[in-house]
Chain A
Amino acid sequence: MRDISLDRVNEIRESMLETVKSPSLTHEQKVATMANHADSLLEVLDLPKGLDELLNADIDSQCICDLFEGHAPLRPRYIIPDYAKFMREGSKFLQLDPPKDLYEALNSLLIFYRHVPSVTNFPVYVGQLDELLDPFVQDMDRDLAKKMIKLFFVNMDRTILDSFSHANIGPKDTLAGRIILEVEAELEQAVPNITLKYDPDVTSDEFALTAINTALHSAKPSFANHKMFSSELGEKYVIASCYNGLLLGGGSYTLSRMILGNIAKRAKDIEDFKTNTLPYMMDIMARYMDERIKFEVEESGFFENNFLAKEGFIKRERFSAMFGLVGLAEAVNILLEKEGIEGRYGHSDIADKLAVEIMDIIDDFNKHHFNKYCEGTHGHFLLHAQVGIASDVKVSPGTRIPIGEEPENLIDHLKHCAKFHKYFPSGTGDIFPIDLTVHKNHEYVLDIIKGAMKENIRYLSFYSSDSDVIRITGYLVKRSEIDKLEKGESVLQDTTALGMGAKHNGKILERKVR
């Protein structure tokens, strides 16, 4: 381990004291923040030359961002336990037998969640809940089942204090799935995020319409293109955290992102960007990720010692890593401006053609970069359209069109999405606030979803423009909770602070209503 300067130690000590005294952080948030401060004292990774100036810079010049993963990763960023195995076999470490009824199933899951680490210290994946619970609700009173599942969801919302946690349902229509959708429409709460894996050949219209009704009440579920995800990741994939496609029983070691707009600022022109600037950044970021993965696998001891791995709920070889990017829109606009070419991302063929060329370069790089610990994804990382963080200013999530510049007609917006979603097996998505009158015509939304799936759009989210629960970028937050935080009151979930940041910096309340 390398030494660090006393100045830096003192700086961190100051931050620690600030955390201790913070009036708006809850106890849990303070403990988590203190752990991050402690981690920041460590220097164990062998960092690629040139990374420092790209990583440790202000938001208007930072080119690579490691999304708060810390200096010495003590666990993979995203962990996707095989909950079905837990239901079948129980857990020795947790001293739990396989559940025999709904009481035991829900109790076991809530215990298990407490022991699933992640970058946020909360589980980013809480299971394919319809399949997990369906066997237990078949022969019992429906009202009782609904009440129990409702309490289970309330418990999650109040104890998993971070809305990057994600449940999956579908594509099959099940009784448990229906109960979950009913309950979530009534509760209108932020946690957990939910995705319906949608396949028009498997998912009934009736089930999809129920899901749309729920989405217009509580901004979830989102709709994932099941055919597309399963063709890339196999049937055993899940959607976790914001909208990340990952392998079941595995996860993602790490996620870093390139801030493409800032990278474009450094390039002389389009050609320089394509042949020099971008390849330089991709190489450094990939090697940085390699280094993090190496530490996690070879040194952290996580995969040898954690019960999840020991009992087979996760397998090291089912892990991959997410090669992220943000700000494709800004990069394209900056590059066109440098060349004196007219046209804006999302509004001109020239801009969109350049954007596709950039994506092809990134995709090609990733296909040729090899990491021996990513066996589950053929030795390659998975591209990820990162949704941004609260402090991002003038950085549009992934490949999204900037808020305020959305095309007048939804059809043009969707056609634009269709050009870019194919690149991102580990997640991308677009969000559409919907006008209140659509509450009376859910089939309108269903038709759009069906068309989107045909056009290889990967992932869509809708929420009602008057809903309290809203989708910030990928995660959910209640507007009423943001209001509380703005008044200086503490709030339960840490993601509310991120939502507040995104409201001010990312203009997320100003999306074009459809």
Chain B
Amino acid sequence: MMFFQKKKTKLANSNNIAITNYLTDGLLVFNSENKLTLLNPRAEMLFEVLEGRVLGKSILELARFERLSPLVSLLGGEIKPMEKTELQIKENLILEITSTPIARDGERINTLIVTHDITREKLSDKMKTEFVTLAAHQLRTPTSGIKWSLGGVLDGSYGELNESQKEILTKAYKTNDKVIELVRDLLDVAQIEEGKYLRNLVLTSIEDVIKTVLESRKQEIMNKKLNVEFQREDVQKIMLDIEKMEIVFKNILDNAIRYTSTGGKIIITLNRKEKEREVEIHIKDNGIGIPEYEQDRVFTKFFRGSNVMRVDTEGTGLGLYISRNIIEAHGGRVWFESKEKQGTTVHVTIPIKERFGEFLTGKFY
């Protein structure tokens, strides 16, 4: 019986060794004293070290090895737990690190580090973004040509137009302007993906940002005879990228305006949430709402509600995607509640950050 157990264990052990030897991800194991007890062949390749040379060393001692030092910086002396955190080891090597403490009876006995190579995915993303940027720029030349030439015809530079000619050409001109707007959105999306998005952080009054946005949409609001109320409490200035935040509120307000019928009502509220150190903004309309079965796709790229496409064909479908990215880059959240034919309320929270440094510890684009 004992002999059989021993043989099973030996077999299980050699199976385990085979698994770690052939695993296509790098594997490191640290014991309860944070000393390295395993470094599999794949990790040897990725980090350019031999297991024999590093076994038994403490995590901080490993910082001496060139390719391991970024990993040591990331994990820290205490070997922080983390999931799928990106780490660049050298020029053509980007890894996804997952660090899992293994506990028994509440005590950490080992820490398992799995390193997954994502260099190809990152390169592919980069190429896609570069392609979108290039294509968008290339699209601007012909659309400029159309805008200028049609504009010229419409302003009488090529002779007088009759009413029906003016009408159809105006539609063509506006359609082209829509393509130009889409190109602009595509470029914004590409920039977000490239991670170059938040640039100019400045202490700003968010009330002023909202007032500027409301001012810019004054005409549309009047045209639709909408009743717009801005209820606010005094909120201190916070660090914001003003230009990007204007884009956010313009997008959300544009939706409220577009999808609320003539004579409808929009209420914007701004308040401070003391405990959570956040500023909250709510934009509530009594418009056509978003169908329930579509609500989970609202923030995805190019989404436009099916009920909306019939009402208004404008809108590129990228506005909310871009807005969410900007809000999240600030450390905030955005969500909404909506009922078809009753209206939608969009909620935005932005953490109160008063110094630039507060952005660098979190996810900072």
Q: Are A and B genuine complex partners?
A: no
